[in-house]
Amino acid sequence: MSAPLSYTHGTSTTPLLGDTIGANLDRAVAAWPDREALVDVVSGRRWTYTEFGAAVDELARGLLAKGIGTGDRVGIWAVNCPEWVLTQYATARIGAIMVNINPAYRSHELAYVLRQSGVTLLVSSLAHKGTDHRALVDEVRGACPGLRETVYIGDPSWDALTEAAAEVPAERADAVAAGLSCDDPVNIQYTSGTTGFPKGATLSHHNILNNGYWVGRTIGYTEQDRVCLPVPFYHCFGMVMGNLAATSHGACVVIPAPSFDPAATLAAVQQERCTSLYGVPTMFIAELNLPDFASYDLSSLRTGIMAGSPCPVEVMKRVVAEMHMEQVSICYGMTETSPVSLQTRRDDDLEHRTGTVGRVLPHIEVKIVDPATGVTVQRGTSGELCTRGYSVMLGYWDEPERTAEAVDRGRWMHTGDLAVMRDDGYVEIVGRIKDMIIRGGENIYPREIEEFLHAHPKIADVQVVGVPHERYGEEVLACVVPRDAADPLTLAELKAYCDGRLAHYKVPSRLELLDSFPMTVSGKVRKIELRERYGTG
């Protein structure tokens, strides 16, 4: 009898939600009217579920007054703030499609996204990290003829938008909401492509509401939870795993700062008695490395989510022991799958939380296939991870050819990640198909070397990439953020540390010391940029 195949699916006696996002929020307001729904630490503003529901309804009617209808695209180009969250739920309420735009985008990227998605109304921050958003919008307006109006948060134009709600009776908004299907598109998120322009993953109410609900259910959210979100709302991590996971369970969203600040994050956890904290591993590393880390009272924490990239064992040990996050969960996903397919469970041991990205969530299928043939491989064998189910996107906005390249005829989403399924169904990510290093015919997975090097006392963070080599085809480069800039690691020290503990072909032959790594919007390190930067060295 042959070994079991790398296929699994999540079963559950709990059905998927059939709601739209607006209807689900209505249920939350009815169930938990007086509990807090949203807290903005910086401004001190707070909303109970009743108040939040009323603010969402007001903004939805304001959008209707501005001529926004079902299927129209509304762009959101802003840092984390309450208005971002209100826009998310207000657009969903009336069936408009919210288009997430990275606040770091410049004119070239902004113009492309506005034009490609057909945004008619843009909600924007006034500025981001010294960049004047108004000036950039004025610059691209001529290239975006479909853009009718821009509303700026913290500006009279925002007040005018909410005041316009008076022109639209509640009955009209209710009638629009009643005509919506949970399968309607509600969100476009642009994935940071490594080549060419980004693609607009188009997601439905059904996609993201259910994914948020199941992520929250898996870590045991109730109306007692308070979720600190230093991760960006413009990515699924913030708006789905954060906002929708919270509101579908009556929990409270806490915004610690407009963008990630480790001290502000821990201060918010302490002040608001948060029970859950999110972040990519580099965020947790930054928090743990604060000189006054021990002075923060984090005893209210019990859980949280770490995602975006693998968590080093030493970091996970500290998060559990020193941040009180005994039930912290690892999630794996991608924007195109709403995003989470695999997640560790609350009672998983340290090895499963650091060696794997969990097991399949309910109502989702996962398989691992031979990248060349598409045939499902046996468990314990490396191949491409594919996922199928309610979470797979509707497609890339207005790009059927690129959709067909990613989603096959069986509706399997091909992730591009190399993975191994264990006998217990837990999945290890061993690298990107594009990231695998081939040195002199040997296949090298950077993740293995990174895990090993993380235990070095002089290394705060490390990324391993392959760069061209005349003799071997590729050689191994370690890009290191030193723990102490005054006492940096040398290549000789690195090689001595690896000697006899790693196969010779895996030992880095080059070392680069960095202050930080280039990141994608979703918190993943841009390895392609490291390869391009140092590939000619």
Chain centroid to CA 497: how far? 34
Instruction: Give the mean pLDDT of 17-36.
Output: 98
**How many domains does one find in the chain?**
2
Residues near 312 by Cβ (< 8 Å), separated by ≥ 6? 281, 354, 450, 451, 454
Tokens of 422: 């264990």
Diameter over CA atoms, the chain? 75
Instruction: CATH number of the domain at 514, please.
Output: 3.30.300.30
Indicate the residue among 137, 159, 180 that finishes a domain.
180
Please tell me the least confidently modeled range out of 92-106, 182-196, 474-488: 182-196
Which of 184, 185, 170 has the alpha carbon at shortest distance from 57? Answer: 170
pLDDT, residue 537, reads 63
Distance separating alpha carbons of residues 262 and 269, to the nearest angstrom: 11
The answer to whether position 530 is within a domain reads yes
The answer to whether position 135 is within a domain reads yes
What is the per-residue pLDDT across 210-220, written as a single tens digit (0 to 9) for each?
A: 999 999 999 99
Indicate the residue among 146, 180, 214 that finishes a domain.
180
The answer to whether position 424 is within a domain reads no
What is the per-residue pLDDT across 436-458, written as a single tens digit (0 to 9) for each?
A: 888 877 778 888 899 889 999 99
Answer yes or no: are the C-beta atoms of 427 and 359 closer than 8 Å: yes
Residue 282 has pLDDT above 80, yes or no: yes
Distance separating alpha carbons of residues 510 and 224, to the nearest angstrom: 50
Of the chain, the percentage scoring pLDDT greater than 90 comes to: 84
Distance separating alpha carbons of residues 251 and 340, to the nearest angstrom: 19
pTM of the model: 0.87
Which of 260, 277, 248 has the alpha carbon at shortest distance from 89? Answer: 248
Q: What angle do CA 12, 205, 181 make, to 5 degrees?
A: 105
The answer to whether position 403 is within a domain reads no
Determine the angle formed by the axes of helices 281-288 and 313-322, rounding to 10 degrees. Answer: 60
What is the per-residue pLDDT across 486-522, written as a single tens digit (0 to 9) for each?
A: 999 999 999 999 988 888 889 999 999 999 999 876 6
What is the per-residue pLDDT across 45-88, written as a single tens digit (0 to 9) for each?
A: 999 999 999 999 999 999 999 999 999 999 999 999 999 999 99
User: In b/e form, how buried is each residue of 489-500, taking b as 16+ CB within 10 angstroms?
Assistant: beeeebeebbee
Instruction: CATH number of the domain at 109, please.
Output: 3.40.50.980
pLDDT, residue 393, reads 98
Indicate the residue among 153, 180, 207 that finishes a domain.
180
The answer to whether position 270 is within a domain reads no
**Distance set, CA 242 to CA 85, 214, 455, 467 (Å):** 11, 12, 31, 37
Q: What angle do CA 406, 403, 85 make, to 5 degrees?
A: 100
The answer to whether position 168 is within a domain reads yes
The answer to whether position 259 is within a domain reads no
Answer yes or no: are the C-beta atoms of 367 and 383 closer than 8 Å: no
The answer to whether position 466 is within a domain reads yes
Q: The domain containing residue 444 runs over which residues? A: 435-534
Q: What is the dihedral of CA 259, 261, 264, 266, to 10 degrees?
A: 120
Answer yes or no: are the C-beta atoms of 310 and 448 closer than 8 Å: no
Residues near 233 by Cβ (< 8 Å), separated by ≥ 6? 80, 84, 85, 88, 100, 239, 242, 243
pLDDT, residue 194, reads 41
Distance separating alpha carbons of residues 109 and 7, to the nearest angstrom: 39
